[in-house]
Every structure is written in C-alpha cells, then in structure tokens.
C-alpha cells in the first residue's frame, strides 16, 4: 500500500485542461485598469503543472499576484509489484501573493497563501492472482483496499524569491523558486484488515519528510 501511494505521488501524465476557475484571475481588474502598463498576464510551467498568472504593480516596490496551477495528474490503471491499482488525482491550486521588489531591479521576494486542490487516490480488489498486503494481513478473496493522499493544510503559507526580466516594451520573462508549507500529507487507508490503523501510522511516518513542497516556476507574460 505504501508503494502504491509513493507511485501515485511520483506519477505524471499529459497536461489536463487548466481549471475553469482561471477566469477569476481575469477579473482582477476592470477594462479601464487593463490599459495600465503595470498590469500583466502570462502563462508558465511549474512543479505544480502549467500556470496562469495575473499581476498588478502597485508601485516601484510592491505588486499583487495571483497564480492558478494544475494539469499534472494521473487517471488510469497501474501495476506496482504485481498488484493492479486504479489511480486518479492531480496536483494544483491557487496562490495569492504579495511581491516586494528591491530597488530598481527585477529581484523580488514573495509571500502569501496557497489554496490546495491536490489529491490522489488509488484502489484495488484482491484475488488469488492479485493479492493485497496491508500490514501483516494478505487479502486474496475479493476484498477492496483504497488509499487517498492530500496536503495536510488546505490553505498553506507560500514563500518564493524570483526575478523579472523585462524584454522590450511588453514582454516579461520571470523565474522563481520557493516552497509551500503544506504541513505534511494526510493519508487515509480503507481495507478489511485488523492492523490497518498501524499501516496508516507507518505510511504517515514514511511521508513525514514531505512537510514542504518545492515550488519552481518559469513564466512568460505580456504587460498591458
């Protein structure tokens, strides 16, 4: 079961469609504000998948930024150590950040909140040819076992550092690196085994190292 969860976390598939709620970013400004060159919108890639970003430069030192990310996920059957699992899930969420720029440079320090939409789950049915081991119990007679994983915090603190390169009059190329303090992972396992609670504790111990999710992003945007 632990190996199934670790495989779920490491799996990657083709990009899914960006979440429909991306339209919320477009509402950050009115049509009148859209004429201000301090407003920009862009697309990028990150450790959470494709990103859609909108930002408004308040003054020389401060800006507000919203980043919608998603698209890295899994959906289908996988075989791990001879056991077949049906898996599904996705990485993603929405970040609202305040950017502080130092002097006249493009260097910035950003902090804010990340609202997670990350969740992964997997299930399998036991049979003599597809035995399931949960703790010290082996299931072989049609029993079903399932597991799910999500960020421990629905809303997590986020901190990054980055740099904006203004290219020409309209284009900006940005890069940033940082972390999301997700507080670990919540893991749940459902299976007809007496020691399932102990298995959950063991899994959580193994995944305790995932207290922080690394965030790296590259974004190209146009100023309006």
Q: How far is CA 86 from CA 36, 145, 178, in A?
A: 49, 11, 33
Strand-pairing partners, residue 138, are 133
Is the pLDDT at 20 greater than 60? The verdict is no
**Given the DSSP bridges, would you call strands 62-80 and 137-139 parallel, antiparallel or unpaired?**
unpaired
Instruction: Specify the pLDDT at position 174.
Output: 97
Whether this model's pTM surpasses 0.85: no
Q: Please enumerate in sequence order all residues whose Cβ is within 8 A of that of 205, keeping only pairs 6 or more positions apart, or say none.
A: none
CATH of 2-29+41-223, picked from 3.30.200, 2.40.160, 1.10.10, 2.30.30, is 2.40.160
Cα separation, 207 vs 10, in Å, equals 13
pLDDT digits (tens, 9 = 90+) for 34-51: 334 689 999 999 999 999
Q: Which of 1-10, 117-126, 159-168 has the lowest mean pLDDT?
A: 1-10
pLDDT digits (tens, 9 = 90+) for 139-189: 888 888 888 888 989 999 999 999 999 998 899 999 999 999 998 888 888
pLDDT digits (tens, 9 = 90+) for 62-99: 999 999 998 777 888 877 767 788 888 889 999 999 99
Domain locations in the chain? 2-29+41-223
Q: Which of 22-36, 104-118, 179-193 has the lowest mean pLDDT?
A: 22-36
């Amino acid at each position: 079961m632990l190996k199934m969860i670790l495989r779920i976390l490491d799996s990657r598939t083709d990009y899914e469609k960006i979440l429909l709620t991306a339209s919320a970013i477009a509402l950050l400004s009115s049509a009148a504000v859209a004429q201000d060159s301090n407003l920009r919108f862009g697309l990028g890639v990150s450790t959470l998948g494709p990103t859609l970003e909108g930002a408004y430069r308040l003054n020389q030192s401060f800006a507000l930024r919203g980043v919608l990310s998603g698209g890295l996920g899994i959906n289908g059957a996988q075989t791990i150590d001879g056991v077949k699992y049906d898996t599904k899930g996705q990485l993603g969420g929405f970040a609202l950040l305040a950017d502080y720029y130092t002097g006249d440079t493009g260097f910035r320090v950003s902090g804010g909140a990340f609202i997670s939409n990350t969740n992964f789950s997997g299930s399998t049915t036991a049979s003599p040819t597809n035995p399931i081991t949960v703790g010290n119990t082996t299931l072989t007679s049609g029993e079903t076992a399932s597991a799910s994983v999500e960020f421990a915090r629905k809303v997590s603190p986020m901190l990054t550092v980055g740099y904006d390169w203004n290219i020409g009059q309209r284009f900006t190329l940005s890069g940033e690196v940082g972390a999301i303090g997700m507080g670990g992972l919540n893991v749940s396992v459902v299976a007809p085994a007496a020691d399932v609670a102990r298995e959950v504790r063991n899994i959580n111990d193994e995944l305790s190292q995932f207290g922080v999710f690394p965030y790296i992003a590259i974004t190209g945007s146009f100023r309006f």
